[in-house]
Copies of this chain bind each other. A is one copy, B any other.
Amino acid sequence: MPHVPEVGGNTANLRLHVPIHLRWGDLDAFNHVNNTSMLKLLEEARVRVFWVPESGDTAPSTAVIESGIAAGVLTLIARQEIEYLAPVPYRREPLDIQMWFGKIGGSSIEVCYEVYSPATDTPQTLYARATSVVVMVDARTGRPQRLTDTMREAWSPYLGDPLIYGHRR
Contact = CB atoms under 8 A, between A and B. Distances in A.
Interface string A82-111: 111001001111000000001100000010
Contacts of A156: none
A40 B27 CA distance: 12
Given A28-B25, A44-B24, A168 B93 contact: no
A153 to B, nearest CB: 23
A110 B168 CA distance: 10
A162 interface: yes
Copies in the complex: 4
B92 A57 contact: yes
Contact of A25 (B40, B82, B110): B40
Given A35-B80, A40-B36, A74 B168 contact: no
Contacts of A34: 25, 43
Interface string A29-67: 111101110011001100110000110111100000000
A140 interface: no
Contact of A23 (B27, B43, B68, B110): B43
A69 B169 contact: no
Pick from A58, A74, A92 the residue with the most CB of B within 10 Å. Answer: A92
Given A79-B84, A81-B82, 14 more contacts: A24-B43, A25-B43, A27-B28, A27-B29, A31-B68, A34-B43, A35-B80, A76-B87, A77-B84, A78-B84, A79-B81, A79-B165, A110-B169, A162-B169
